[in-house]
Amino acid sequence: MASRFVIGIDLGTTNSVVAYCELGGKQPEVHLLPIPQLVATGTVDERPQLPSYMYLPASHELAGGAFDLPWQTGSRFAVGELARVSAAAAPERTVGGAKSWLCHSKVDRRQPILPWVPGLESESSDIARVSPVLASQRYLEHLVAAWDRAFPDTPLRDQLVVVTVPASFDAAARELTREAALAAGLPEQFVLLEEPQAAVYAWLVGTGDRWRQMLRVGDTLLVCDVGGGTTDLTMVGVAEEQGELTLQRIAVGEHLLVGGDNMDLALAHRVAELFAAKGVQLNAWQSVSLWHACRQAKETLLAEGGAPTHTISVLGRGSKLIGGTVSLEVDRQQVVDLLRNGFFPQCTLTDRPARRRSSGFQEVGLPYAADVGITRHVAAFVQANSSEGRMPVTHVLFNGGVFKATMLRERLLEVIGSWSGAGSPRELAGNADLDFAVARGAAYYGWAKQHGGVRIRGGTARSYYVGIETSGLAIPGAPRPLRALCVVPFGMEEGTSCDVPSAPIGLVVGEAAQFRFFSSAARQTDHPGDLLASWNEEELAETDSLETTLPAETEEADAYLPVKFQSKVTELGMFELWCVSTQDDRRWKLEFNVRPEQDA
Amino acid sequence: MGRFFIAMKAFFRVLGGGIGADQIDAVLRGEPARLAAPPESATIPGSPKTVKPSSSKPEPARPARSDAVTLLATLQREARLIDLVQESLDGYSDAQVGAAARDVLRNCRKVLDQSFAIQPIRSEPEGTPVDVAQGYDPGVYRLTGNVSGDGPFRGSVVHHGWKIGHCQLPTWTGSREAAEVVAAVEVEIS
Contact B86 A76 (CB under 8 A): no
Supply the pLDDT for residue A375: 92
Mean pLDDT of B131-155: 88
Q: Is residue B84 part of a domain?
A: yes
Distance in Å, alpha carbon of B31 to nearest chain A alpha carbon: 27
Same domain, yes or no: B68 and B112? yes
Supply the pLDDT for residue B56: 47
> Which of these ranges, A545-549, A592-596, B100-104, has the smallest mean pLDDT?
A592-596
B184: nearest CA partner in chain A: A41
Any CB–CB contact under 8 A between B113 and chain A?
Answer: no
Alpha carbon separation from A395 to A236, A265, A389, A416, A488 (Å, rounded): 10, 31, 17, 10, 30
Going by pLDDT thresholds of 50, 70 and 90, the confidence category of residue A361 is: very low
Residue A350 exposed, middle or buried by CB count within 10 Å (0-12, 13-18, 19+): exposed
Residue A57's closest CA among A123, A159, A126, A143?
A: A126
Instruction: Among B51, B86, B97, select the one facing A72 at the smallest CB separation.
Output: B51
Kindly list the residues from chain A whose CB atom is less than 8 angstroms away from the CB atom of residue B99.
311, 313, 325, 327
Q: Is residue B38 part of a domain?
A: no
The structure's pTM equals 0.81
Contact B87 A325 (CB under 8 A): no
Contact B174 A64 (CB under 8 A): yes
Instruction: Among B53, B102, B104, select the one facing A148 at the smallest CB separation.
Output: B53
Render A10-29 in DSSP notation, one character per residue. Answer: EE-SSEEEEEEEETTSSS--
> Which of these ranges, A353-362, A430-439, B72-81, B125-134, has the smallest mean pLDDT?
A353-362
Distance in Å, alpha carbon of A329 to nearest chain B alpha carbon: 10
Interface test with B, best of A72, A283, A322 (most B CBs within 10 A): A322
Instruction: Among A44, A145, A318, select the one facing B173 at the smallest CB separation.
Output: A44
Mean pLDDT over each residue of chain A, to the nearest integer: 84
Same domain, yes or no: B104 and B177? yes
Q: Is residue B130 part of a domain?
A: yes
Contact B55 A152 (CB under 8 A): yes
B57: nearest CA partner in chain A: A71
Round to whole Å and give the CA distance between B29 and B23: 10
Query: Quick check: A474 pLDDT over 70?
Result: no
Q: Is residue B111 part of a domain?
A: yes
Residue type, A82: L
- Considering only residues B71 and A508, tell me which one the structure prediction assigns the higher pLDDT: B71
Same domain, yes or no: B10 and B85? no
Query: Quick check: A75 pLDDT over 90?
Result: no
The number of distinct structural domains making up chain B is 3
**For the segment A476-512, what is each residue's pLDDT rounded down to a tens digit?**
777 667 888 999 888 888 888 889 888 888 877 777 7
Supply the pLDDT for residue B50: 42
Give the helix/strand (H/E) hosting A195: helix A195-207
At the top level of CATH, which class does the domain A5-192 belong to?
A: alpha beta
Round to whole Å and give the CA distance between A596 and B79: 45
Query: Quick check: B35 pLDDT over 90?
Result: no
Kindly list the residues from chain B whose CB atom is less than 8 angstroms away from the CB atom of residue A44.
170-173
Round to whole Å and give the CA distance between B95 and A315: 14
Mean pLDDT of A22-43: 90
A144: nearest CA partner in chain B: B50
> Would you tell me how many other CB atoms lie within 10 Å of the CB of residue A154?
18
Supply the pLDDT for residue A590: 84
Return the top range by mean pLDDT from A60-69, A87-96, A102-111, A153-162.
A153-162
Going by pLDDT thresholds of 50, 70 and 90, the confidence category of residue A349 is: confident
Instruction: Among A44, A76, A327, select the one facing B170 at the smallest CB separation.
Output: A44
Supply the pLDDT for residue B39: 42
Same domain, yes or no: B98 and B128? no
Strands A191-194 and A160-165: parallel
Q: What is the percent of chain B where pLDDT is above 90?
A: 35
Q: Is residue B39 part of a domain?
A: no
Query: Quick check: A135 pLDDT over 70?
Result: yes
List CB contacts of B107: < 8 A, sequence separation 6 or more.
Answer: B78, B79, B80
Render A241-256 in DSSP notation, one character per residue. Answer: ETTEEEEEEEEE---B
**For the segment A113-124, what is each residue's pLDDT rounded down to a tens digit?**
888 776 555 555
Instruction: Give me the domain span that covers residue B134.
Output: 122-143+151-158
Mean pLDDT of A584-599: 71
Q: Is residue B58 part of a domain?
A: no
Q: Is residue B46 part of a domain?
A: no
Q: What is the percent of chain A where pLDDT is above 90?
A: 25
Round to whole Å and give the CA distance between B179 and B190: 29
Residue type, A341: N
Kindly list the residues from chain B whose CB atom is less than 8 angstroms away from the CB atom of residue A63.
175
Q: Which of residues 23-52 of B touch A (CB under 8 A)?
A: 40, 45-46, 48-51
Contact B55 A71 (CB under 8 A): no
Any CB–CB contact under 8 A between B171 and chain A?
Answer: yes
Residue ranges of domains in chain A? 5-192, 463-593
Kindly list the residues from chain A whose CB atom is less than 8 angstroms away from the CB atom of residue B101.
322
Same domain, yes or no: B93 and B178? yes
Distance in Å, alpha carbon of B108 to nearest chain A alpha carbon: 14
Any CB–CB contact under 8 A between B173 and chain A?
Answer: yes
Round to whole Å and give the CA distance between A224 and A374: 10
**For the segment A450-461, what is each residue's pLDDT rounded down to a tens digit?**
887 777 777 787
Query: Quick check: A182 pLDDT over 90?
Result: yes
Q: Chains A, B: CB contacts under 8 A, how many?
A: 116
Strands A191-194 and A505-508: unpaired
Distance in Å, alpha carbon of B45 to nearest chain A alpha carbon: 6
Q: Rounded to the nearest 10 degrees, how much is the dihedral formed by the CA atoms of A24, A30, A31, A33?
A: 80
Same domain, yes or no: B83 and B177? yes
Contact A43 B46 (CB under 8 A): no
Interface confidence (ipTM) of the complex = 0.77
Backbone phi, psi, residue A39, to 5°? -100, -20
Q: Is residue B14 part of a domain?
A: yes
Same domain, yes or no: B108 and B127? no
